[in-house]
Amino acid sequence: MSYLDCDLEELRQKIVSREVSAREIVARALDAAEKLNETLNAFLAIDRRGAEARAAELDQSLGKLPATGPLFGIPIAIKDNICVHGLQTSCGSRILGDYHPPYDATAIERLRAAGAVIIGKTNCDEFAMGSSNENSAYGPVRNPWDIERVPGGSSGGSAAAVAARIVPIALGSDTGGSVRQPAALCGIIGLKPTYGRISRYGLVAFGSSLDQIGIFGLRARDVAKVLSVIAGRDPHDATTADVAVPDYAAQLVPDAKGVRLGVPRALFGEGLDPEVRRAVEGAIEAYRDLGAEIVEVELPHAKYSIACYYIIATAEASSNLARYDGVRYGFRAEEADELIEMYRRTRDQGFGAEVKRRIMLGTFVLSSGYYEAYYRKAQQVRTLIREDFHRAFARCDAIITPTSPTPAFLLGEKTDDPLKMYLSDVYTCIVNLAGIPGISVPCGLSSSGLPIGMQLVSRHWDESTLLRLAHAYELAHPLTARPPVAANW
Ligand code: GLN
């Protein structure tokens, strides 16, 4: 039997009842991570010593503490742009190199307090900029379903680690789709919560008004459980809101009765792979069978979302990345004889091509003379997009779209054409612009056996509806196939 056939609660029960030790579970995850890394390159750091020590500590604490945490003994992987004390945080970049943050991100602190064991840091596109994981300075991640293909990005390492059954749960970050799109391409669940739901303290900033930590898992119930642990107000992040955090897992029901599901038909047209369209249309019918009422909705400004996103995200990135100057963190170029030259060389050698492209774009759209035409205009369009959703949610409780216009593409297929790569985010980045929550759920396989994902989005703070819909679908239509490259522990 595989322990990964258990959900997190069942696994935790086995550990606290001493049917299996936390050490054994964690050792299995570590073994799988090490073994599969040669093929997948999903991890940039594997913390065998730290994870084994923590697991032993948990085993020893059993029976001594009055209560055990909700994630007691569960092995977890963390994207390498989230600070974990004692481990590197490279953001997939040379410029941070082996930067070791002296503190834990709030989400990490909460995971640890719940008993989770961090086994390592996962590969990602440099500073989370990308849709294929090919922008990592440490080589691309490979998709466990077909190692010639990308896992999606930018949180490709976390998605591949869960899809390959190395860990049952991983954290990523989502600025324009970086959790949902790789979840879709790897056949797992990926949740991006409402902006302000999970603290960004300790998440390295890319586009601060868009960034959220997100959760990958094999089941909606597991994702729900982890969300209840890490969500909520944090005095270290003023954008977290004081909205109560429910026990999301306890709220799950196996149907969609009473839910009005909106379908924006106009988004099912040009550029959408016919197999993806068919799979998502099948899911709409499945929801009808589960009791949902299907309604048509319109998002008239959706067509501007890519343009709007790539102006706002690059503007914010150009400002956030100004701090990497060779003085405060990580890498410094050696050969310079004066300060400005040192900054220039450090940034030239430390950043990869995509990051430089974004810094230039962002600096351009913020420069005097262009600010009004681009940045300000994009902010106005962002408001129109939010209003589109507001109007749509007067008629429905959730909206369904594809997550990605195509299944996983080949490594190298889009690297020469940034615009084509940016179009991978057409369904996802609009959700970050509106600040609402979104989830990707597997909804079938293509004829060549690649996973397809659907995206569900809902009102601010209504993660419950998304998790409920994901749960109901997954019970009725489980994805039983497994990727050829996968551990089985
Ligand atoms: N692919 C998008 C980008 O490159 C989204 C990235 C993200 O969500 N971090 O900007």
Q: 421-437, pLDDT tens digit by residue?
A: 888 899 999 999 999 99
Judged against a pLDDT cut of 90, whether residue 97 lies above it is answered with no
Residue 238 DSSP label: T
pTM for the model stands at: 0.98
Catalytic residue among 132, 154, 228, 424: 154
- Residues with CB under 6 Å of ligand 1 are 128-131, 154, 173-178, 206, 313, 425
Judged against a pLDDT cut of 90, whether residue 394 lies above it is answered with yes
Q: In what order do the strands lie in the sheet with 189-192?
A: 43-46, 117-122, 75-79, 169-174, 212-217, 189-192, 438-445, 451-458, 398-402, 260-263, 293-296
**Looking at this protein, which amino acid is placed at residue 104?**
D
Q: Whose CA is nearest to atom 4 of ligand 1?
A: 130
DSSP string, 10-23: HHHHHHHTTSS-HH
Q: Residue 199: is the preceding peptide bond cis (ω within 30°)?
A: no
Supply the pLDDT for residue 276. 97
Catalytic residue among 79, 121, 192, 414: 79
Supply the pLDDT for residue 442. 98
Q: Can 154 be counted among the known catalytic residues?
A: yes
Across 424-453, average pLDDT: 97
User: Which of the four pLDDT bands, split at 50, 70 and 90, describes residue 69?
Assistant: very high
Supply the pLDDT for residue 1. 64
Query: In this prediction, what percent of the chain has a pLDDT beyond 70?
Result: 100
Q: What does each C-alpha distance from 401 to 52, 180, 296, 298, 395 come to in angstroms?
A: 42, 12, 12, 12, 16
Judged against a pLDDT cut of 80, whether residue 76 lies above it is answered with yes
Residues 489, 164 contacting (CB under 8 angstroms) = no
Q: Can 79 be counted among the known catalytic residues?
A: yes
Q: Is 334 exposed, middle or buried (0-12, 13-18, 19+ CB in 10 A)?
A: exposed
Supply the pLDDT for residue 270. 85
Judged against a pLDDT cut of 80, whether residue 177 lies above it is answered with yes
Rounded Cα–Cα distance for residues 453 and 98 (Å):
34
Going from the Cα of 289 to the center of ligand 1, the distance in angstroms, rounded, reads: 34
Question: What confidence tens digit (pLDDT) does each residue in 273-286 have?
Answer: 999 999 999 999 99
Mean pLDDT of the chain: 96
Nearest to 317 by CA among 264, 276, 289, 355: 355
Question: What confidence tens digit (pLDDT) does each residue in 219-234 have?
Answer: 999 999 999 999 999 9
Going from the Cα of 186 to the center of ligand 1, the distance in angstroms, rounded, reads: 17
Query: In this prediction, what percent of the chain has a pLDDT beyond 90?
Result: 93
Across 392-407, average pLDDT: 98
